[in-house]
Amino acid sequence: MRASIAKELADQYGLKQHRIAELLNVTQAAISYYTREVRGAAVNIDRVGEVRQAVKDIAAALASGDWIAPDLMQRFCVACGAAREAGLICRLHKQMEPSIPLRECTICKLNQSSCGKRLR
């Protein structure tokens, strides 16, 4: 998700990599990797509308400086829940551990965080 937020901040708000790195608390090199899709491109989270909207909301708040940490954490929580429900995290896990039987796996759905449910 950081990669999508970094791209949004660069593309839509014209922020430089150094500033994006400060906002996301990562290195400038990480932002460079994100924007070139060297890192953070394992799963296309942008195809899930709720996740995409959360990315846009988070980027807008960060770019404007008008944010408080609990609000951003709630948006992240909602986005992660939507990504789990869409099976995106399952695909990532499958890439990391090919022996996982995706059709039988319910770990992500069973481990939905309570904050994600509360915000829907």
Per-residue pLDDT tens for 82-120? 887 777 777 677 777 778 776 777 666 665 554 444 433
The model's pTM: 0.73
Give dist(CA 91, CA 112) in Å, integer. 16
| More confidently predicted of 26 and 120 | 26
Give dist(CA 93, CA 108) in Å, integer. 10
113: domain range? Answer: 2-118
pLDDT for the residue numbered 41: 52
Query: Could you give the dihedral angle defined by the CA atoms of residues 117, 76, 4 and 110, in that order, rounded to the nearest 10 degrees?
Result: -40
Q: Count structural domains, the chain.
A: 1
The percent of residues above 70 in pLDDT, for the chain, comes to: 72
Contact assessment for residue 59 and residue 7, using Cβ atoms and an 8 Å cutoff: no
